[in-house]
Amino acid sequence: MIRYALACAQGHDFEGWFGTSSDYDRQAADGLIECPVCADREVRKQIMSPAVAGTRKRAPDAPAAGRRAMMMEAMAKVRAHVESNFDYVGDAFAREARAIHEGRSEERGIYGEATSTEVKGLVEDGVPVAPLPPAPPSKTELN
């Protein structure tokens, strides 16, 4: 994972985590990155000092490990809430989100799958969408 320090045009600082630098580039080009404070999509990377790994092994920074665990727990709770309380619409997400936004379908929370092109179209048309946090890894995926 790559952590980028980001800032929106309104001056809000935040960070984003991406699998690769090309993931950031693709999401930025598709307009999928927005400020968590004001939802501004004019976001830029800030200068960061590189995290250089040393040759000596050391214990992980306890506060950082605690923050990471807290963040993972919070994301899991958000995902569980959505899965328990929203309607799953599968690959019809973009069509249903647009129908709800335009008043052609009942107002309700939904989640499902959409391509980056579909998401970009929804965002450009002012349809409120947000990515669902990833599912936590299964016990078999952990070391």
Tell me how many degrees the CA angle 85-131-126 measures, rounded to the nearest 5. Answer: 95
Q: 138 and 94, same structural domain?
A: yes
Supply the pTM of this predicted model.
Answer: 0.52
**Is 70 among the domain residues?**
yes
For 35-77, what is each residue's pLDDT tens digit?
Answer: 888 888 899 988 776 666 666 666 666 677 778 888 888 888 9
State percent of the chain over pLDDT 90: 36
Q: 143 and 77, same structural domain?
A: yes
Look at residues 54, 107, 110, 118 and name the one whose alpha carbon lies nearest to residue 86.
110
Is residue 28 within 8 A of residue 43, CB to CB? The reply is yes
Range 108-112, long-range pairs (CB < 8 A, 24+ positions): 109/82, 109/85, 110/86, 111/82, 111/83, 111/86, 111/87, 112/88
**Is 55 among the domain residues?**
no
Measured N-to-C along each axis, helices 116-124 and 93-101 cross at an angle, to the nearest 10 degrees, of 10
Q: 65 and 37, same structural domain?
A: no
Q: 69 and 134, same structural domain?
A: yes
**Is 69 among the domain residues?**
yes
**Is 135 among the domain residues?**
yes
pLDDT at 95: 96
Our count of domains for the chain comes to 2
Q: 139 and 74, same structural domain?
A: yes
**Is 54 among the domain residues?**
no
- Mean pLDDT across the stretch 125-133? 91
**Is 93 among the domain residues?**
yes
**Is 50 among the domain residues?**
no
Full residue range of the structural domain in which residue 114 is found: 61-143
